[in-house]
Structure 1
Amino acid sequence: MLSLVACELVLAAMCLLVLGVNLWVLLNYLLKIDIPPSIPHRMRFRILYYGFQLMVTWGNILERLRICTMPKLCQILQDLMNTKRNCKVVVTDLCFEEVPVRLFQPKATSSSPRKGIIFIHGGGGILGSLDSYHALCSLLAQETDSVLLAVGYRKLPEHCHPVGLQDCLCASIHFLKSLKAYGVDPSRVVICGESMGGSAAVIIIQILLGRPDLPKIRAQVLIYPILQTINFQLPSHLQNQNVPFLTRDFMITCILRYFSIDPSWKDAILTGAYIPQDIWMKYRKWLSSDNIPQRFRNKIQQPEFPGPFNKSAYLELKNLLDEGISPLVADDEVIAQLPATLLVSIHWDVLRDDVLLYKKRLEDQGVPVTCYHVEDGFHGCLFLFDKIFSFPCCWDIINAIVRFTKDM
């Protein structure tokens, strides 16, 4: 009898804990977030973000209890989503140099070699997988009549930087060496990256500029990419810091985890206190808010940047200043060699200004740039295009990618 009562008490306590956490998430996140005025289906948006925050919050709780890490829980729940099959595309799971990849090839015969697409998904090193982006990759391969390679790079919690980037580079080189075997025209290869995958795409292209033995990348498609980890006081970081799904706090959390940085350095990263004055004087011509068009800077009081220099922070964080992490600060000679580019930016996104700054850098060096600016979207929306919570902006972005790629 006593044990039965104890079990009932434990069950009641667990129910109260679950209810308490869910209510805390509801009050702390759902009622305080900034929903952009142009976002349609606002209730759908709130419900979706509530589910996302529940997932992250429970992941953090389980991590503190040493039951399961937050990234692992997110990946488990993400992989429960069904993968929709496309009968018009042949899908093959392979390993390139021990890196899992998935090849998407249109079933229809072609009289000539097809275009090739290397696709690198986003997710901040936490989310994203071959399965969760399967439907998107199938659609892109079908609609652009291309052979698409999706890279299943390793992620947190087991693997931090630079493992994921090395996986993407290794798989890309293997694919470029094998294009004829997959019926791909070596002169028409596009690399496409979303969010953190966009950062990887740019870094890979810059690395491959020094590889004359490989086919030259024809174009790059960058979907709301993160292109620098230096200036986090840009207007978009201040204006959109509480806009789902990539709030500034969650973005910094991903950066700290991905680069194995102690959370105590968070403020130094946000204020730029780790940046020496001479380095900032070199980079400010590319990263200053002065390079952002005035219409994106209205009603923002710019704080002094960088903050008072902290030498200890510099010694700990100086790698963030490297172009291998922040490709936006590559030398002009490198930027001038980059291929034609499609940039997709989201107005209500903390990373919006990364795209605007990169656009200016490319145009200043004579690189052809096509821009698609989304007013009614949010960071990560592309992931939802085939889900029950899809938004119109998802298809708008896909159509822009398809149009650009077809013209290559």
Structure 2
Amino acid sequence: MTAHDPLTPQARTLCDAMSATFPDPADGPLDADTLRAAARAGLGKPAVPMRSVTERRVSAPDLDAPVPVRIYEPGSDGPRPLVVFLHGGGWVLCDLDTHDGLCRRLAALSGASVVSVDYRRAPEHPFPAASHDAYAVARWAAAHARELGCDPHRLFVAGDSSGGNLAAAVAQRAQGDPEGPAIAGQLLLYPVLDHRLGGESPVAFERGFFHTTAHMRWYWEQYLGVGGDPVAASPGLAPDLDGLPPALVLLADCDPLRDEGLAYARRLTRAGVPAEVALYPGVFHGFLGAAGFLPEADVALARAAAWLTRTPGTGA
């Protein structure tokens, strides 16, 4: 790195340690299983207790198979907010276990129940499989909110990275579906929104900040497969954002995806959608997974939880 490192010393230490065990497609061909194993390395025991954690399978008429979900119920009494959470990992990596700690912290801090979605992953299941699974679970959550002890008017979609892509896509699809779930807000954590990878950040943070621009291009290739429509898979390119639910767009400053997140927040604001941006300097893509080690992650999760708590429901 140069003499001026935009990462904090703690973030740099963590970034380098993570990068050392996580292959970069810029260095040679990759396969999904190798990256999946790297993403799961070092998983520990749950650190944040919940009142209950249950596993279910969600079925829908338009799905080939039920979608596994994990439901986190915090200690707070209902009716609680209900969050459908879509994990990141470039639509290829990660699962319920890799994001268990993040979901627990979000539930504990916000008092919301969290439904974590084990959607189908690429390249075995390219676009739009993951998006279909995410939408099916959102519809199921809306229909079963009271059963889960939650307020049906306070249903949120949330996700990090590629999960943020799916969360934004669910919010857009619901807005255009007369029978779709009523979404109270969308929590987008350093989301993937635009296949073009525009702006300055993909160049400024191309390499050396864990999540590289080459990673993102490779993920898009896996997700789209043969003949996938990159525009349809890019919520940031949706022509009409009018009427979408409020959004919190939470970003890492040292991230190739920073600028597309900023661009989407600006588009939402121009469309009259209440959109907040929380930009954290000195940290890299995926930093929320380091809660308890990086103070920026703790602050960011507290802000996300506060936003979920104060954002009014759809009946307000």
**Shared fold per TM-score greater than 0.5:** yes
Partner of 1:37: 6
SS in 2 for 1:117: strand
1:209 aligns with 2:119: no
Is the Cα–Cα contact under 8 Å of residues 188 and 248 in structure 2 kept in the other structure?
Answer: yes
Is the Cα–Cα contact under 8 Å of residues 7 and 284 in structure 2 kept in the other structure?
Answer: no
Partner of 1:402: 305
TM superposition shift of 1:164: 1.5
Counterpart-to-counterpart distance in 2, 1:151 and 1:192: 11
Q: Tell me how large the CA RMSD over aligned residues is.
A: 2.4
Question: Which structure 1 residue ranges, 5 or more long, are not aligned?
Answer: 1-31, 64-69, 262-315
Q: Which has the higher helix share?
A: 1
How many equivalent residue pairs? 302
Counterpart-to-counterpart distance in 1, 2:250 and 2:126: 27
Is the Cα–Cα contact under 8 Å of residues 122 and 128 in structure 1 kept in the other structure?
Answer: yes
User: Between Structure 1 and Structure 2, whose CA radius of gyration is higher?
Assistant: 1
| Alignment of structure 1 residues 2-401 onto 2, 5 Å | 36-41=5-10, 42-53=12-23, 70-79=31-40, 81-84=43-46, 86-97=48-59, 98-108=66-76, 110=77, 112-230=78-196, 232-261=197-226, 319-321=229-231, 324-332=232-240, 335-385=241-291, 390-401=293-304
Can you list the C-alpha shifts for 1:169-198, whole angstroms capped at 9, x where unaligned? Answer: 111111111111111111111111111111
SS in 2 for 1:226: coil
Can you list the C-alpha shifts for 1:257-290, whole angstroms capped at 9, x where unaligned? Answer: 22125xxxxxxxxxxxxxxxxxxxxxxxxxxxxx
1:212–1:180 distance in 2 versus 1, CA, 3 Å: farther
Higher mean C-alpha deviation, range 73-82 or range 352-361: 73-82
TM superposition shift of 1:215: 4.1
Counterpart-to-counterpart distance in 1, 2:45 and 2:38: 13
Counterpart-to-counterpart distance in 2, 1:212 and 1:35: 52
Is the Cα–Cα contact under 8 Å of residues 86 and 117 in structure 2 kept in the other structure?
Answer: yes
The TM-score, its normalising length taken from structure 1, stands at: 0.69
SS in 1 for 2:254: coil
Higher mean C-alpha deviation, range 200-209 or range 233-242: 233-242
TM superposition shift of 1:156: 3.2
Counterpart-to-counterpart distance in 2, 1:220 and 1:86: 24
- Residue 58 of structure 2 aligns to which amino acid in structure 1? F
TM superposition shift of 1:136: 1.4
- Residue 22 of structure 2 aligns to which amino acid in structure 1? F
Counterpart-to-counterpart distance in 2, 1:191 and 1:199: 11
1:336–1:49 distance in 2 versus 1, CA, 3 Å: same
Q: Percent identity?
A: 26
Question: Which structure 2 residue ranges, 5 or more long, are not aligned?
Answer: 60-65, 312-316
Counterpart-to-counterpart distance in 2, 1:156 and 1:214: 25
Counterpart-to-counterpart distance in 2, 1:358 and 1:233: 12
- Residue 225 of structure 2 aligns to which amino acid in structure 1? S
Counterpart-to-counterpart distance in 1, 2:33 and 2:141: 29
1:159–1:36 distance in 2 versus 1, CA, 3 Å: farther
- Residue 299 of structure 2 aligns to which amino acid in structure 1? D
Counterpart-to-counterpart distance in 2, 1:34 and 1:104: 44
Counterpart-to-counterpart distance in 1, 2:144 and 2:217: 38
Is the Cα–Cα contact under 8 Å of residues 341 and 370 in structure 1 kept in the other structure?
Answer: yes
Counterpart-to-counterpart distance in 1, 2:44 and 2:303: 26
Counterpart-to-counterpart distance in 2, 1:36 and 1:260: 36
Q: Which runs of 4+ in 1 moved over 6 A?
A: 32-35
Counterpart-to-counterpart distance in 1, 2:152 and 2:5: 42
TM superposition shift of 1:88: 3.3
Q: Which has the higher strand share?
A: 2
1:258–1:172 distance in 2 versus 1, CA, 3 Å: same
TM superposition shift of 1:34: 10
SS in 2 for 1:377: strand
TM superposition shift of 1:85: 5.0
TM superposition shift of 1:83: 3.4
1:47–1:169 distance in 2 versus 1, CA, 3 Å: same
